Structure 1
Amino acid sequence: MEYRGVDDWDDLFDECRESAYHMEVRDSYAVASESEPLRRFLNGEPPPDYDKSDWIDLIREVTGRGVVVSRVRVVTVPHSDYQRWLLSVTGENVEAGEDIRYLPRHLVDSADIPGDDWWLFDGSRVAFNLVDQAGRSVGVAVTTDPKIVAFCQGVKDQLLAVATPYRKYVDESPVNSR
């Protein structure tokens, strides 16, 4: 495995040519830039300016060159506070070109859910999100090991096929349930 720093994600997307798939399995994340928007959401306050323009611009650029960007979020129902907030701000990602889908954890065998978050790039390289005990990002571990890649491709194929697209999930689910 190759270690890359916290800020090396753009390079992975720049090197990507066909597809980028994100597997998300955590019910909450410790992202510093999300703390204030999340706090305000939970307090019922108007949202502050939440600038995710760097990510949105990256997604537009990547999808603009024909790369398919998708992700499945495996979520616990009722949703965690973090996931309820995330559902409220995900529309912008979808509008930028991401295919984001949701899969309630109770609808899939726990053995089929990986224990870690990762990205699968071009079906040939896996980048694991490394986090500390508090859930803060500490870097990326990248591998091209054929067994790991094949495992991740199998998970992608299985879960993407049964997960619900964001818009449908929001329209048909009790997304604000606690």
Structure 2
Amino acid sequence: MELISSTGRNRLIESVAHDAFHLELRDDYSVPLEHGPYEKWLGGVVDNDFMGPWLSMIRQLTQGGKTVRRVRVVTEPHTPYVRWEHEGTPLNEKAGEQIRWLPRHELPEGLSFPLAGKDWWLLDDRLLAVGHFDDTGRVLGSELIDDPETVAECIRVRDLLWETAIRHSEYKL
């Protein structure tokens, strides 16, 4: 299996014609770029400067008429990482990204996640960038999948979860 880097995945997101959707299923991520700011936040200091390039990309996409959406499926009670994500989400939304939250215990009954329950980006309803992580949560890269049946199943799950999930402004920790 060939994996592309986060930079390569972001290039694909930047190139969408209409829509990029991210399904997040982890309660913690070990992303090197976030390590310092997260540690500072745990110590009571907010430093979101690292988000600048992402927010710039989101602004460029959404101001160009494209949609960027994300559903975060989270466990309650929340991990410190999820609380940190929640606190920073207004920056994403101000840039134009739409983010919703879904407590894991409120998932639709009988839902089975495609792709063995891995996180994924769905790009223009035609391409998936499936996240792969090591045992410590460190990002290994993204696998690209364009199989029509797998894409169709992810579209179905996306639509179901998007309608079920709670808007960020209404989801209180």
**1:113/1:82 CA distance change after superposition, 3 Å:** farther
Matches of 1:68 and 1:36, distance apart in 2: 29
Q: What secondary structure is seen at the aligned counterpart in 1 of 2:50?
A: coil
> For residue 97 of structure 2, what is the aligned residue in structure 1?
98
Contact 1:2 1:143 in 2 (8 A): no
The within-5 A match list for 1:70-85 is 70-85=69-84
Q: CA deviation at 1:14?
A: 2.9
Q: Which runs of 5+ in 1 are unaligned?
A: none
Matches of 1:148 and 1:4, distance apart in 2: 19
> For residue 130 of structure 1, what is the aligned residue in structure 2?
132
Contact 1:71 1:100 in 2 (8 A): yes
The within-5 A match list for 1:1-178 is 3-43=3-43, 45-109=44-108, 111-112=110-111, 114=113, 115-169=117-171, 173=172, 175=173
Scaled by the length of structure 2, the TM-score of the pair is: 0.91
Q: What secondary structure is seen at the aligned counterpart in 2 of 1:112?
A: coil
After TM superposition, the structure 1 stretch with the greater mean CA deviation from structure 2, 158-167 or 126-135, is: 126-135
Q: Write the letter of the residue equivalent to 1:18.
A: H
Q: What secondary structure is seen at the aligned counterpart in 2 of 1:102?
A: strand
Scaled by the length of structure 1, the TM-score of the pair is: 0.88
Q: CA deviation at 1:113?
A: 5.4
Matches of 2:164 and 2:22, distance apart in 1: 15
Matches of 1:140 and 1:48, distance apart in 2: 27
Q: What secondary structure is seen at the aligned counterpart in 2 of 1:47?
A: coil
Q: Write the letter of the residue equivalent to 2:31.
A: V
**1:137/1:110 CA distance change after superposition, 3 Å:** farther
The two structures, once aligned, show a CA RMSD in angstroms of 1.7
Q: Cα deviation per residue 1:103-153 (whole Å; 9 max; x = unaligned)? A: 000011474252110000111111101212221112111111011101100
Matches of 1:133 and 1:110, distance apart in 2: 28
Matches of 1:110 and 1:77, distance apart in 2: 17
Q: CA deviation at 1:17?
A: 0.4
Q: Cα deviation per residue 1:84-117 (whole Å; 9 max; x = unaligned)? A: 1111111100100011000000011474252110
**1:96/1:53 CA distance change after superposition, 3 Å:** same
Q: What secondary structure is seen at the aligned counterpart in 2 of 1:66?
A: coil
